Each structure stands twice: as C-alpha cells, then as structure tokens.
Chain A
Amino acid sequence: MAAEAGIACAGLHKAFGEVEAVRDFSAHFASAQTTALVGPSGCGKSTLLRLIAGLDMPDRGTVAIDGQPPERLRERGAISVAFQDPSLLPWLTAARNVALARKLARQPADPALVARLLQMVGLGQFAQSRPATLSGGMRQRAAIARALVTGPGVLLLDEPFGAVDELTRRQLAQDLPPLWHEMGATTLLVTHSVSEAVLLSDRVLVLSPRPAQIVADIDVPLPHPRSPALPDTPAFHRIEAQIRAALSHALDAA
C-alpha cells in the first residue's frame, strides 16, 4: 500500500460481545481537513475514534495514518484525543493538566503556550483551579486545550462542546479551528449539533444507527475562516438541510 497522506480506515469491524458497534467502516480522511461525524446516540462514534487512535484494536480491518499504524504516531505524541468525558486528573490544576500532555508526548514544557490556550478557551482566570471546582463545560474546555497543546497531527474531538453553553460554543467555534488549521491537524469531530458540524468542518459524514456505517458523505465547500454570520446564509442552510434529511432517512431505515 502506498503511503497515503491522511487517515485511511479499511473495513473496520468492532463488536463488544454480542453488540456490534462498527461494521465494515471504510473511509479516507484527507490530511489537514476537518471532518465532522454525526449520527444517533450509541451508534459507535466514540468507538470509531478509539479505533482510529489505536486505543482499541479492531476485530477486523486496518487503520493507517500517513501509511503508518496509529501506534507509530502515538509514540511520537502526534495524536491528541479530547474524550467525551473530559477525564482531567483531579489532583492537578487546569494548567498542569494541560501541561501534562506535553510531558507525556515528550515535548519540552511551554508555559506560555499553555497560558495562551487556556486564555483562548476562556479559562485564563481558572488556570490554577482544580477540576472539582470547574463546571462541566469548563472541564471540557480544559480538555480541548490539553488536546491542542501538543500541536498534534491528528486531532480527535469527541463531542468537545457537549456541555458548553450556546454563546461560548459559538465563540469556541470561531477561535479554535484557526488553531488546528495552523497546526495542519487532520481533525475528526464528533458532534450532535448539525449546525456545529457545518460551521466547523470541511466535510460531514452521517452515520447510521448502530452498527455505524456511512449513510451520507457531504462536502462543506465554505471558505475559511468562517464568519459569525455564516449560519444565516442560504448556502449554510442548504447543507444543514441536506444533513438533516440524511439523518432522518437513516433513522427511518433502521
């Protein structure tokens, strides 16, 4: 197989006992692109991200990132995941939680970057707070900062804004994508919000109910950086409607 840039999933299968979470999933994610995965709850999105990160092994099929198995990239600290549950270490402050990722990825400490990212996710005031004193949304934002601090080549975001309020969510949707574009990260974003999917990504994959299969592959040919006014444009609405239709079609078929 020629070393292909980006993430190549070929025939992925994953079952937990009787429960089949992913069935025959094949897709290619182009380098430095952002792809949103939308699909009904429990359809296997998180499982898919874990397979791509190499945290779980597929029962069948392969994942190749720039032609290499995920382990190789993980060893270089080139993958970051913002998990659905923020999983911050309770004994570390927000800043130290973020800094820990650089240590684990064997990168030199960079307090200035840590501070800048925390500022950017709106936690500038809370750098020295421990997770127990942060709200659910604040913890998620800290987890996003942690995912970004290593400047990863592959960025996997599992419902990163799930517990964040609408206003902050819009702000983050403005501020964060330029960051991961600048890093040239190949980004996969799981979300339940159709408009967020359109706003943040270059491409949207609509998944069927469990086991996850692609039911629609929709391009988002809107220019970057995306303006706050974008959600009010006809082009945006058209793509949104397309995704909604695919989603309800998938649900009806099940």
Chain B
Amino acid sequence: MERGRISAAQVAVLSFMAVTATSLLTAPTVASSVAKQDMWLSPILASTVGFLIVWLLVKLNQAYPNQTLIEYMKKLLGRPLGVTIGLLYLLFIIQTTANVLRQFTDFIKMTFLLTTPALVIAGSMILVCALIVRGGVETVARFATLLLPVVVVLILMLYMPTIKDINAHNFEPVLSEGMTPPLKGAFRLMSWVPVFTFMNFYLPFVSNKRHMLGWAFGSVAIFTVILFVTFIFVYAILGDATPIYVYPFMVLARFISLTEFFEHLESLVMMVWVVEIVIRITFGLFSASIGLAQCLGLPQYRPLVLPISMIMVLFSYWGITNVEFVFSPEIVMYYLTFGLLLPLLLYLASLMKRRFGKQQKDTEEKGEYAV
C-alpha cells in the first residue's frame, strides 16, 4: 500500500511538531484558567501520559512490525469488533483534526481575514494538506523536517525580545493549594497530548527501528520542554491576565517593541502557525486515510484522501458554534479513551495473546528484538 520509508528521527520531529502546533497558541489559557500561577507544572505532569502512550505504541509496533494500529486491532479483537472499533477510532482521528481545523479557521478569521468566508480558509488549507498526503509518507515526513528550522527560528524570534519583560513575581505564591491545580491543568492539557497516538500509523514505515523508542521519548520530551518554556514566558509576562486572552501567544507577539520597526509581529506568529497547522493536519489526514484503507481492506489509500478531507471540513462546522466547546472535560475524556485507553487495552490483549497463545501454533511472525 505504501512503499515509502522514513527514519525514526523524522517520525519524532513530525509528531513533536504536530502536537506542539495547537498547544502553543491556546494551551496557556486553558491551563491557567484552572491552575493559575502553578500552570508551569502542568506540562511536566501531562508528559507522563505522553511517555506512556508513546511507549505503548512502540511496544505494540515491536510486536507487530509492519502493521498499524488498525491492522493489529483487527487481528487481536477479531474482524467484526476490530472493524467497528477501527471505524470509531477513525472518527476520533477525523474529529480531532477537524477541531484543529476549526480552531485555525477561527483564529485566521478573527485576527486577519475578517471578511473571508471560513470555507475558503478551511478549504485552501485542507487542499494543501491533501496535496502533501497524496505525495506519500515520505513527503509528509520530509515536509516536517524541512520546516523545522523555520519554525524554530521564528519561535525564537518571538521569545527573545520578550525576555526583558519577564516578571518572576507573577509565579508567587507557588503551589498555594497543593498539587491539585497543576493536576487539573494537566488534565486540561490532555486535549493535546493524546495526539501522539497518531504516531502509530507512521511506525510501520520506519527503516531504523532500533532507535525508535529513544527518538519517540525525545519527541515527547521536547514537546514538554517547549510547552514548559512557553508557559513560563506567558505567565511571567501576562500574569493573572492570562486566562482572559484566547491566544496569549499572540498577545505576547503584540507586546514586542524592540525598536520602532519590529512592531506588530503577530503576522509572523500567524505564519508560523499556518506551517504548524499544515503539519498537524497532514499528520491526522495521513493517519485517517491509511487507517480507513486498512480498516476496509482497500488496496490504495490515495483516492480516499480527498473525501476524508471533505469530511474534515464538514466536521469542523457541524455542531461547533464556539471553539471553547473543544476544551470541555467530556472531550478530554473522549480523547483519553481513544488515545490512551485503546493502545493500553490492545497492549494488554497482545500480552495475553502471547502468553496464552504460545501453546497454540502461532502463524504470524513476531519481530521481537531488544530496545
């Protein structure tokens, strides 16, 4: 179905950039609304879930080397149950990506292109992503790797001038209500972390699987670090006002007045965000296309890319009147179910199958090798 090969480092960079995309812009608000001044602990706590998810996926991939989650779910749970849960999982993927698309469309519409119809913005974005996904897994991975320096440089350009405005006293009092607020903040961050589960669709195409676990952990770690630094910067500068702004990062960009000339750099933020959202949506679109093709047993996934992108545009409008909806706890539970619970159950099922299935003749090969 897909004959491309990518490297472990490329998968790590791709996942990290995809997950960081939306979280940078809106996570500070969400976390600070429950955790207030202790929000800087939330990324560290949330990263445990991230590490767990990634570890589960790599272990599952070691047990079933060339198969994605949909395929070994069909094998572990049997065909009828596997296909049903697979379709639900695909709905989950499409839902999350559609949420991201909607957030992005609202952001662009509210801040820059006020009168452009939302369909034009969303449609043009999804068309570019469909183009990338149709180029195959190598294009997706290479694209993320190519744009990594651009994103890093632009983010640094936005952090550097704000250093002089940092006010460390905003963080006091530290942990005044115990660990509960950071935990609640970490729970809110679960809107973004389960996206690491999409990584499983790329693991079968990795050529050097030996270092996969290291790179995967590295990707989660870098995500944590970036989120941590962002939270610190945002809260140090904006203080208690953070929960008020929908996009604190943008407010940070507006603060920059290094010289008279470098003002109003929110357009720069927008450009960085467009690039990151493209990566995020291709991450999801490729997963959904390959997942659907494997779930239904189709030989090719490329023809499905355009219909699935149409579904995504549709889902980004259906029933969502206000993007705040997306951060509600029910949605977080939904994400956690499919992002964490499903791989966990599958992993336990595969352990049980290996333990009890050793007596029977196992026809499938198991590629076990040490990490």
Do A and B form a real pair? no
Point out residues on B near A: beta carbons under 8 Å: none
> Which residues from chain A sit less than 8 Å from chain B, CB to CB?
none
